[in-house]
Amino acid sequence: MRLFLALVPPPALRRRLGTLADAAQARCGGRRMPDDGLHLTLAFLGEQPIERAEALAAWLARFSILPGSWRLDAWGHFRRPGIVWVGGAEGEPALRDLQRQLWDSLEEMGITGRPDRFAPHITLLRKARRSPGPELPRIAMTWDYTRVELIQSVLKQQGSHYRSLARTVLPE
Ligand code: 2AM
What is the assigned CATH class of domain 2-167? alpha beta
ipTM above 0.90, yes or no: yes
Per-residue DSSP letters for 126-158? ES-SS---TTSPP--EEEEE---EEEEEEEETT
77 is catalytic: no
| Longest CA pairwise span in the chain (Å) | 48
Could you read off the pLDDT of 69-110 as tens digits, one per residue? 999 999 999 999 999 999 998 878 999 999 999 999 999 999
Spell out the domain ranges in the chain. Answer: 2-167
Closest residue by Cα to atom 6, ligand 1, is 153
Which ligand 1 atom is nearest residue 81's CA? 4
| Residues within 6 Å of ligand 1 by CB | 4, 41, 44, 83, 123, 153, 160
121 is catalytic: yes
What pTM was computed for the model?
Answer: 0.96
* CA distance linking residue 131 with residue 89, whole number of Å: 17
Closest residue by Cα to atom 1, ligand 1, is 123
Could you read off the pLDDT of 29-67 as tens digits, one per residue? 999 999 999 999 999 999 999 999 999 999 999 999 999
Q: Residues 59, 16: contact at Cβ < 8 Å?
A: no
Query: What is the per-residue burial (b if ≥16 Cβ within 10 Å, else e) of 120-148?
Result: bbbbbbbebeeebeeebeebeeebebbeb
- Cα–Cα distance list, 80 to 76, 77, 119, 136 (Å): 13, 9, 16, 21
Which ligand 1 atom is nearest residue 33's CA? 2
Q: Residues 40, 121: contact at Cβ < 8 Å?
A: yes
| Helix segments in 1-122, DSSP class H | 11-28, 50-60, 93-108
- pLDDT (0 to 100) of residue 159: 84
